[in-house]
């Protein structure tokens, strides 16, 4: 049931992933789920760059070096974590957003549509028992130095994915009535 799937979605981090690879067909299924997100004016602003194999390690080194270059007092532990996170993942998907060239709608709507595409990916991963985590570090502002971005395209973060062995902790939410106002 979709409600159970929504309630069971969790952030599962790269350090929790095992070594099992994710088949290309599974990644394609996850991306197809993303492609069915709502989109105002049918701009379909989501763009994805899938990193597997050696490209994940290259991403880790790029991010770690950029961290060291832009931070006045870089910490070795943080440097290593940034460098190793992509390598710990079976796949990393760079989440990008292509701005409508005509700017027919506010940018926030295209960012929201891209976020909904990521939610679809995350729910699909939950169904497939693939761990996932969306990270949006400040270093994404430099991604045009790592891979080509089109005119008006920006990177919004990374979607780390991998199979995992331990079941995630159950989620907790405050009651929705604490966040709801009914108007009559």
Annotated binding site for FMN: 40, 134-136
| H or E segment to which residue 48 belongs | strand 46-51
The DSSP secondary-structure symbol of 118 reads H
| H or E segment to which residue 72 belongs | none
- Please give the annotated binding residues, written as ranges: 40, 134-136
Question: Using an 8 Å Cβ cutoff, are 45 and 110 in contact?
Answer: yes
* Closest C-alpha among 123, 115, 95 to residue 10: 123
SS3 readout for 91-114 = EEEEEEEECCCCCCCCHHHHHHHH
């Amino acid at each position: 049931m979709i409600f159970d799937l929504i309630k069971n979605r969790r952030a599962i981090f790269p350090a929790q992933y095992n070594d099992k690879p994710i088949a290309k067909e599974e990644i394609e299924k996850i991306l197809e789920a993303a492609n069915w997100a709502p989109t105002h004016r049918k701009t379909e602003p989501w763009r994805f760059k899938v990193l597997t194999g050696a490209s994940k390690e290259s991403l880790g080194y790029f991010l770690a070096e950029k961290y060291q270059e832009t931070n006045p007092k870089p910490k070795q532990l943080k440097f290593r974590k940034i460098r190793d996170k992509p390598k710990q993942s079976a796949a990393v998907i760079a989440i990008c957003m292509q701005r409508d060239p005509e700017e027919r709608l506010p940018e926030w709507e295209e960012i929201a549509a891209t976020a909904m595409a990521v939610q679809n990916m995350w729910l699909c991963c939950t169904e497939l028992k693939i761990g996932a985590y969306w990270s949006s570090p400040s270093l994404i502002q430099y991604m045009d130095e790592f891979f080509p971005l089109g005119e008006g395209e920006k990177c919004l973060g990374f979607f780390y994915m991998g199979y995992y062995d331990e079941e995630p902790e159950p989620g907790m939410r405050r009651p929705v009535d604490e966040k709801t106002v009914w108007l009559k």
